[in-house]
């Protein structure tokens, strides 16, 4: 049988990684797919730019629409990123009856509902394994491997740049800004690093994971997103003293009232495996009712790790080319007409535990005033530390860990604490999760 013909949009890091992996492992990939997979045409913005891959035998063009409209091409691989041009190209490819493989998390998180509806109508597949956690086959694991479970919650370290920064802050006592600069120099960060450090990149990925875990439409706009730029090395050190690590976590949980969908810095017990995922690595912890916790770990970015997911999607698409659309794995894991309308919870409805740090005057009764406010709000304290006065001042850091409470109650309590004359500056609040079986 002839090889399946693929058109590539984008010859950057991941595009070139895909060319290289397909060429190097072509024989094994053909044995798996049942047919050869050949990139016949590729679009790149600048054809004169030096490439890190061998493009001999691939027709190159600067016009991506020439690729999506090429009648010889069966599958379009979209690796240009962003959600403007990429969206037009993907919709056009679907309209042309072509299957699509994409690594584009923003595209799927923001426009996936419309894209999948169009794909359903045309009977084509849109595969997006590479959009979440790079080379970790987390979409396949949740959508297929865990299909017998009711997923209760999942939590992921799904941005390598953020994890690299927090790891360096903890290991080397470095400041946030200093490590971010290095992450940019090393090429880990997105073109706009605020996507990494403010949690937008993680929110794109979490939106996708929540949909396939719970069978709900993609709801990126409803995701609560808080970045790591305000985390100080003092907080990292205090958390460690208390037996916790601070990770930038994407967390989604099904509750009776609705779905929690949130990205924020989070204290997690250092004994958890996921707390020990360091550097640029990614990990996703999934709690299924039948299997219990399962953890998926690996490279969340990079040329070949991401290409690994792109090529796996190509193999999947090639395998089902001849099956009728009704018998394929649904895009969002659940049948398109069986998605649930569970609401996404507002952040102040979420219940979690907290780390609080405040700068207090070192005089009698201050701690009592703080604990009275918490006690009156029904907030139970789990641990408390008061540090020595800061050098040359009469002010001390007080660090508190609380039991679980609704965010709205915590917001009120924090406002009352900040109003105390003996408390200076804002109270630092970092959410805390045990990520245990309960």
CB of 306 to ligand HSE, least distance (A): 7
Question: From residue 197 to residue 226, what is the string marking binding to ligand HSE with x (rule CB under 6 A)?
Answer: ----x-------------------------
Question: Residue 176 Cβ, how far from ligand HSE at the closest point, in Å?
Answer: 15
Q: Please pick, among 205, 387, 395, 426, the residue that the annotation labels catalytic.
A: 205
Determine whether 392 is exposed, middle or buried from the number of CB atoms within 10 Å of its CB (0-12, 13-18, 19+): exposed
Is residue 300 at the binding interface for ligand HSE, with CB under 6 A as the rule?
yes
Compare residues 74 and 226 and give the one whose CB is closer to ligand HSE. Answer: 226
Dihedrals φ, ψ of 150, to 5°?
A: -90, 115
DSSP 344: B
Distance in Å, CB of 9 to ligand HSE, minimum: 17
Quick one: CA dihedral 349, 354, 358, 363, positive or negative? positive
In 3D space, the residue among 120, 33, 132, 56 whose CA is nearest the CA of residue 325 turns out to be 120
* Of 113 and 161, CB closest to ligand HSE: 161
Angle at 114 (CA atoms; ends 113, 120), nearest 5 degrees: 90
User: How many residues can be counted in the chain?
Assistant: 438
Taking the least distance from each CB to ligand HSE, the nearer of 166 and 374 is: 166
| Site of tokens 């770990």 | 297
DSSP states along 191-232: SSTHHHHTSHHHHHHHHHHHHHHHT----GGG-EE--STT--
Give me the 100-139 binding string for ligand HSE, x by CB under 6 A, dash otherwise.
Answer: ----------------------------------x-----
- Which one among 301, 333, 353, 430 touches ligand HSE, defined by CB under 6 A? 301
Give the total of residues touching ligand HSE (CB under 6 A): 11
Which one of residues 182, 190, 234, 362 is an interface residue with ligand HSE (CB under 6 A)? Answer: 190
Q: How far is the CB of 162 from ligand HSE (least distance, A)?
A: 7
- In angstroms, the CA 139 to CA 332 distance is 9
Query: In 342-372, which positions are buried (b, 16+ CB within 10 angstroms) versus exposed (e)?
Result: bebbebeebbbbbbbbbbbbbeeebbeebee
Q: 74, 196, 313, 433: which one contacts ligand HSE (CB under 6 A)?
A: 196
Torsion angles phi and psi, residue 395, rounded to 5: -110, 140
Cβ 137 vs Cβ 309: under 8 Å: yes
205 is catalytic: yes
Of 154 and 410, which has the nearer Cβ to ligand HSE?
A: 154
Among positions 7, 156, 160, 227, the unique one binding ligand HSE when judged by CB under 6 A: 160
Identify which range of 11-19, 106-114, 118-126, 186-194 contacts ligand HSE by CB under 6 A. 186-194
Please identify, among the stretches 89-97, 155-163, 338-346, 427-435, the one whose residues bind ligand HSE according to the rule CB under 6 A. Answer: 155-163
The token pair that represents 236 in the structure block:
């990292």
In a 10 Å sphere around its CB, with 0-12 CB exposed, 13-18 middle and 19+ buried, how is residue 28 labelled? exposed
- The contact set with ligand HSE (CB under 6 A) reads 134, 159-161, 188-190, 196, 201, 300-301
Active site residue ranges: 205
């Amino acid at each position: 049988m002839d090889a399946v013909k693929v058109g590539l949009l984008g010859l950057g890091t991941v595009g070139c990684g895909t060319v290289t992996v397909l060429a190097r492992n072509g024989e094994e990939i053909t044995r798996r797919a049942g047919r050869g997979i050949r990139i016949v045409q590729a679009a790149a913005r600048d054809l004169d730019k030096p490439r890190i891959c061998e493009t001999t035998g691939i027709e190159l063009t600067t016009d991506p629409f020439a690729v999506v409209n090429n009648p010889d091409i069966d599958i379009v691989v979209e690796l240009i990123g962003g959600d403007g041009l990429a969206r037009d190209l993907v919709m056009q490819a679907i309209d042309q009856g072509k299957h699509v493989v994409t690594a584009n998390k923003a595209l799927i998180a923001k426009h996936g509902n419309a894209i999948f509806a169009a794909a359903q109508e045309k009977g084509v597949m849109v595969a997006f394994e590479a959009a979440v956690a790079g080379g970790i086959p987390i979409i396949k694991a949740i959508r297929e491997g865990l299909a017998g479970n009711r997923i209760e919650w999942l939590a992921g370290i799904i941005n390598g740049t953020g994890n690299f920064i927090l790891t360096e802050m903890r290991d080397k006592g470095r400041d946030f800004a200093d490590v971010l600069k290095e992450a940019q120099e090393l090429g880990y960060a997105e073109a706009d690093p605020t996507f990494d450090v403010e949690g937008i990149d993680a929110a794109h990925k979490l939106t996708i994971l929540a949909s396939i875990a719970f069978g709900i439409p993609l709801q990126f706009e409803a995701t609560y997103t808080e970045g790591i730029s305000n985390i100080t090395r003092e907080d990292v050190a205090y958390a460690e003293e208390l037996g916790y690590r601070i990770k930038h976590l994407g967390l989604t949980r099904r509750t009776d009232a609705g779905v929690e969908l949130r990205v924020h810095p989070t204290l997690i017990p250092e004994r958890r495996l996921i707390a020990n995922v360091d550097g640029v690595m990614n990990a996703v912890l999934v709690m299924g009712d039948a299997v219990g916790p399962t953890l998926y770990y690996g490279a969340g970015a990079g040329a070949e790790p991401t290409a690994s997911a792109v090529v796996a999607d190509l193999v999947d698409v090639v395998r089902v080319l001849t099956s009728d659309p009704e018998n394929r794995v649904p895009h969002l894991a659940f049948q398109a007409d069986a998605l649930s309308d569970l609401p996404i919870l507002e952040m102040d409805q979420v219940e979690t535990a907290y780390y609080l740090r405040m700068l207090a005057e070192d005089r009698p009764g201050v701690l009592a005033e703080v604990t009275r406010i918490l006690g009156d709000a029904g907030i139970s304290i789990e641990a408390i530390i008061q540090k020595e006065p800061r050098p040359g001042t009469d002010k001390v850091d007080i660090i508190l860990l609380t039991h679980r409470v609704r965010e709205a109650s915590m917001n009120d309590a924090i406002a009352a604490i900040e109003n105390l004359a003996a408390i200076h500056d804002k109270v630092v609040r970092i959410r805390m999760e045990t990520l245990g079986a309960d």
